[in-house]
Structure 1
């Protein structure tokens, strides 16, 4: 029973009816289902039925908890009603996807799951903090999020199919903007565009030797009978250390090439020799292989840098900054192309990219703590002093940055914010098409809102409850 609830990929009303019938638990009259909490038995109520899909009270509560985790501060009643609306629309789309045989692959779900977990780890500072916050292991969190992630991806695919290739003309954008009440015109927060020059401290031969020697000793201890997972917790420098180094099932393309090559050659339980990747040096154990995916655990170690090498990099960056400041013929962008060792930004003159937003514009909260601290101190056009930071793989780097542009907060306007307003106009047009589709499906889809569901105003105004 616990398994059914915890692992429901598709938990329809029919399956719940069969379950309760077989167990002869008629006392509940299908008003709720039983789930097991960590410490006690609780009743999880059915709030709504949409076609062959259900919305549970626990669905709303879990999503509410995630929104609070993300910093959403709407009043509880309003936020839960908005979440309820989201689930009703989602279940309508998922129900139709079942009828139309629309699916997404397990690989797509895994990629999104990993991104979600990595975001949560980054937000809380470490995997250990994440496990402590939710009181669940990473594997348990993934299992809990997997059905939700599957439905979200199916929903997105259905929405894309329904709205099609929406496009707007400049006239559409202007009409959309002019139709907005003054108090509804978006306020554009202050944003920054930043160039960077990045240098990586090289590892000395001695530092590399020391790391390899430590890994070889750990490998020897494992082969002599000590548990790989225990040693990973104690010695690995990767975020997966708290899970005994386990990173879950991944396809070859989801892993660093050198890591994948070693992992896919191993037999179950086998231990690799030392593997070098862009992240550092590893030893790897194959836990299980399923077709084209492997579940592995690893111990990651990185060489230490000498203080003399770090001082040399600071001095070199200081010289580059001085050269830019005093030489009218050398721009920061050109210097980045010549000196920077960051592959992601070197060719575009060092311009940093906000990958989460898909733009070069950053709010202060979008920067890492290292970069954000320096950006706050700069005026437009100024270059920072050299400082230590971490790259996307956790490696130590030294960099200088230039505040290329700072745009003060303002109400959106067509001249300065056309691209953003164009996106809003496209979203508005998509929403109209989706709303029309929902209204049409409401007439032909079985919908039941249970009496214990939140008494949200939208249920009547948007025709989820039929007028009597």
Structure 2
């Protein structure tokens, strides 16, 4: 059985030595001569000093079959080329010292796993389907998701200086056939009023007792703060890092109550008093200070909310909704005086959508929180929903009533009404063209070697075959 050159890398610095080139050539030609059915794995391409394995291609092919991916042309050619393009971006990211933080990777992995859990109908069903534990999934996905984020950051850097003017937009769409003009999906404006269910005093005491117990165990030398954070902290972004923030932060990036206690810590061996924030209850340990920034680790515990408390909050909001429908007061006024949601309360409950194009009150349905989108989709403009509950962006259960303020149905974009949409379209096209040109230029200076059986492929980019 042949492990086709696993671990062998071609050295390069823009002008490869004949010795290294010959070594890779001998390896590649030798592998090409072996019966493919006898090979467990092999290096089929080398891009820069990064190998592409046959198993990499097969894994993407299998995933594509599951997800119904349609490849442009022969998958045996398209998939290796796609991987090779990614290697170009990763190579440039290393040259430019592009980095992603551990918390960024963890957050991205968690989002994907949570999506899978919802689609599968629960953690147990997902683990049964994947034949892996959730922990094993996270570990296996980490490197892949890190590379994805590096690639996206590298692309963002490459196109960061590309802009378009209003004149560019008008010229681009002036002679375009109507059926080629972008379709603007249905957009809505939504107002919400939220109410946080009351937490029972005994539940708060239970959480505080847990945190006091953690403090005692660390002080008594039974275990470390980091170990307890990994086991018990309910902050997914830091728990796997032993509760530690992955970077130094200033006061402005922290919850005010958290910052007030964290910045007063001076001894890394001591643990703070219990701190209450909008996220729950914390204990904090200092790691280091640098000027006006600190690095800390923490353990977060969230009180459980009973179903009775949720029901009570929904009854209150249903009463508010009834009064609004009867004209006793407006939704706008109720949002200001009743809502617990600090992000929308001062804007009469109107939700805001932040995107690359800026901040707007308009949402596509898929950009709304799923629970809100499901309810809003049943409303007519001006209607107020019945109360429902959901997990908000801070991970807390809240009860909500929603009002559909406006709806603009899907339509072909126009310069007068949808200029930003058209501008984004032109900008995206220019960035896409720039990236393609960059890839073509990058190929001219990058070492590439492939197995002979790929040299007859019809590739998207010219220059792979040297």
Same fold (TM over 0.5): yes
Tell whether the 8 Å contact from 2:249 to 2:294 is kept in structure 1 after alignment. yes
For residue 207 of structure 2, the aligned residue among 189, 208, 211 is 211
- RMSD of the alignment, in Å? 4.9
Q: Is the 8 A contact 1:384 1:402 kept in 2?
A: yes
Q: 1:174 to 1:449 in 2, by over 3 A?
A: farther
Instruction: Tell whether the 8 Å contact from 1:244 to 1:297 is kept in structure 2 after alignment.
Output: no
Shift of 1:166: 1.8
1:374 partnered with 2:371:
no
Q: Deviations over 1:338-387 (max 9, x none)?
A: 43221222233322234567654444444434323322321222110122
TM-score (norm: length of structure 1)? 0.70
C-alpha distance in 2, partners of 1:415/1:242? 49
Aligned to 1:119: 111
Show the counterpart of 2:344: 345
2:97 corresponds to? 103
Distance 2:68 2:364 in 1: 17
Mapped pair 1:14 → 2:25: no
- Alpha-carbon offset, residue 428 of structure 1: 1.4
Q: For residues 209 and 215 of structure 1, what CA distance do their matches in structure 2 show?
A: 10
**Matched residues in 2 for 1:282 and 1:68: separation?**
45
Give the drift of 1:280: 0.7
Asked if the contact 1:109–1:150 (Cα under 8 Å) also holds between the matched residues in 2, the reply is: no
Give matches, 1:33-52, under 5 Å.
43-49=41-47
Report if aligned partners of 1:263, 1:285 keep a CA contact under 8 Å in 2: no
CA distance in structure 1 between the aligned counterparts of 2:421 and 2:444, rounded to whole angstroms: 35
Contact 1:90/1:151 (CA < 8 Å) preserved in 2? Answer: yes
Superposed displacement of residue 145, structure 1: 3.6
User: More displaced, 123-132 or 333-342?
Assistant: 123-132
Contact 1:93–1:155 under 8 Å retained in 2: yes
Aligned-partner Cα distance in 1 for 2:237–2:227: 12
Q: Given that residues 335 and 349 in structure 2 are in contact (C-alpha distance below 8 angstroms), is that contact kept between their aligned partners in structure 1?
A: yes
> In the aligned structure 1, how far is the partner of 2:282 from the partner of 2:298?
10
Cα distance change on mapping 1:112 and 1:227 into 2, 3 Å = closer
- Aligned position for 2:427: 426
Q: Counterpart of 1:384?
A: 385
> Corresponding residue for 2:302?
301
Distance 1:403 1:120, change over 3 A: same
CA contact (8 A) 1:384 1:400 kept: yes
CA distance in 2, matches of 1:361, 1:454: 49
Q: Aligned partners of 2:30 and 2:348: how far apart in 1? A: 62
1:251 aligns with 2:269: no
CA distance in 2, matches of 1:289, 1:28: 50
- Structure 2 gaps of 5+ residues are 1-5, 32-38
1:376–1:152: structure 2 CA closer, same or farther, 3 Å change rule? closer
* Secondary structure of 2:332's aligned partner: helix
- 1:423-444 deviations in whole A, cap 9, x for unaligned? 1112212333444444455455
Structure 1 residues 139 and 55 mapped into 2: Cα distance closer, same or farther (>3 Å)?
closer
Do 2:192 and 2:400's aligned partners in 1 also have CA atoms closer than 8 Å? yes
Match of 2:153 in 1: 153
- Scaled by the length of structure 2, what TM-score is found? 0.70
CA contact (8 A) 1:192 1:404 kept: yes
- What's the counterpart of residue 277 of structure 1? 277
